[in-house]
Structure 1
Amino acid sequence: MNYSLEQLQQASRLFFDLLRRKVISLDDPAAAECLQDNGAYDALQYMAKEGGCRIMNSGHRLHLLVNPLGSGFASNFTQLRNKYSRIERKTHLHIINIIILVFLAEMDQDEHHFKPGQDSMSYIQISDQVSSLFQAWMEMDSEGGFSRQWRLDIQAMHKVWTSLYMQTKSQEEADSLSRGAGSRIGLIHEGMKLLEEEHLVFISENEKRIFPREELYERMRYLYHDVDRYKELKALIGRTLTEKEGEAHAAH
């Protein structure tokens, strides 16, 4: 399809704005202008495709999604993968993936009743849930069958997680948040900062809590819910934590 110079200019302005901001409201003048012209919007999608990206329109916002392979524009997630690409650090990346999934699973309880500004998790809550998961999964992975079934290196993740410095609740409340793989809170902060940099969450450093933005719910509704791996692991996490809670109540 041939595009006019004006259509290419509109598409270019919006594309590079999306590269910078990741998510743009449909009410934004640049987005509204581009969406009113089918040719300009088609040019935008073509530019994104050529750059190894794609545009997701939630009906309220445009999201720029970077394909994991073949993109000229590394997202925060692909940059993190490169950062932890050395063999001895791969397990940290795997744990960060679980940390993010734990948070998403907690926020993704009922897609019809998302509550931005009300839902939240503390760093300690995430740490406790990750610990419960690894403990339960280790009990089911005595011969490695569970790891193979779910394509998760449970043994390695559990070993690294239990070796990380664990702050007490009072320490966690007093300490400032910092990224790093030296402590459980630091590793959690790595994962949450990734979501924050994608404009999907807000981190309250004073409260040490993570609040989902509306943009996160849009990603879950229009993207993650179509990903089988996400749905499978979300269900596994929910089932495991429910069983652990049941065991704890029974013990009392």
Structure 2
Amino acid sequence: MNAETVKKASAVYFTLLKEKVIDESSEHFQTYFEPEVRQTVLLLADESGTYIIEAPKRIHLVVQPTGSTFATNFTHMKDKHKQVETKKHFHLMSVIIMAFLATIDRNQAAKIRTKREGISYYALERQVNDLILNWESILKSEPTYGEEKRIDMKDVVTTWKFMEVDTDDYGLKKGNRRTRIGLIASSMRLLETEGLIVILDRDDIPKAIPKQELFERIEYLYHDYDRYELFKKLMTTEEEEHAENTSN
């Protein structure tokens, strides 16, 4: 491993650390695939607890769930993202994001439709509400169901039910994180910050458009985790399975 290789690998790795994704238009994309550079970048990633995803036209850098130099606890997440107020809100935001992922990760038709039309915040709110009502019903008959699945279902259900229900005038509510739509907006901003979605019509009826980078994360990373597949199954309700249009 010579100095030039280390220099190139460091440039690639720290660009990934900053940008999270580099595509084929980047000078670092071709450099990465030089065998010695690639080996060194993978070594840097492994040593720092990060993980490289090689997609056909992009390279992603993601943080491993545990043991990473860059992994953040709840306190750090709260400091970085002001919309994350409490652990209860953090857990609920995680459910909102998973509901979004489950919607776009159903099948090829869902992928094409959501890439073209997106998912409106109001459609996502209805979906999450159906999910919460379903969980509430399950917990009445199986009080320990959430504990068995290692999900804080009781707090999620309670937090959601007591949040203010928004009017159709998003403009009046968009800054209020304590409303359902406000929390959905905060959750989508987390994905936007990671460069995984585009948010359109912010001042009207906002919608989230998944980017190809998000589908690549799902395909090359999330599908390898049993926990993701479990969560995805928990996100479904009978109503969702029959829903055909999530864009409005």
TM-score tier (shorter): 0.7 to 0.9
- Does structure 2 conserve the Cα–Cα contact (< 8 Å) formed by 1:76 and 1:194? no
Given candidates 184, 192, 195, the residue that maps to 2:191 is 195
- Does structure 2 conserve the Cα–Cα contact (< 8 Å) formed by 1:133 and 1:241? no
- The residue that corresponds to 1:155 in the other structure is 154
After superposition, give the CA deviation of every residue in 1:56-86 in whole Å (9 maximum; x if it has no partner).
Answer: 10122100011233322246999437779xx
Give the distance between the partners of 1:179 and 1:45, measured in 2 at CA.
42
Give the distance between the partners of 2:9 and 2:207, measured in 1 at CA.
37
Unaligned runs of 5+ in 2: 244-248
Q: Which amino acid aligns with 1:226?
A: D
Q: CA deviation at 1:177?
A: 3.4
Inter-CA distance 202–176: structure 2 relative to 1 (3 Å threshold): farther
Give the distance between the partners of 1:12 and 1:24, measured in 2 at CA.
14
Q: Structure 1 vs Structure 2: percent identity of aligned residues?
A: 32
Question: 1:26-45 counterparts in 2 under 5 A?
Answer: 26-35=24-33, 37-45=34-42
Q: Which amino acid aligns with 2:24?
A: L
- Does structure 2 conserve the Cα–Cα contact (< 8 Å) formed by 1:11 and 1:34? yes
Give the distance between the partners of 1:225 and 1:111, measured in 2 at CA.
15
Unaligned runs of 5+ in 1: 246-252
Give the distance between the partners of 2:230 and 2:206, measured in 1 at CA.
29
- The residue that corresponds to 2:14 in the other structure is 16
- Does structure 2 conserve the Cα–Cα contact (< 8 Å) formed by 1:19 and 1:64? yes
Q: CA deviation at 1:18?
A: 0.7
- The residue that corresponds to 1:175 in the other structure is 172
Q: Does 1:73 align with 2:67?
A: no
Give the distance between the partners of 2:164 and 2:227, measured in 1 at CA.
30
Secondary structure of residue in 2 paired with 1:211: strand
Aligned length: 236
After superposition, give the CA deviation of every residue in 1:187-244 in whole Å (9 maximum; x if it has no partner).
Answer: 2122211111111101111441100000011111111111111112212322444479
Q: Give the stretch that moved more between structures: 203-212 or 92-101.
A: 203-212
Q: CA deviation at 1:34?
A: 2.4
Secondary structure of residue in 2 paired with 1:165: coil
- The residue that corresponds to 1:96 in the other structure is 93
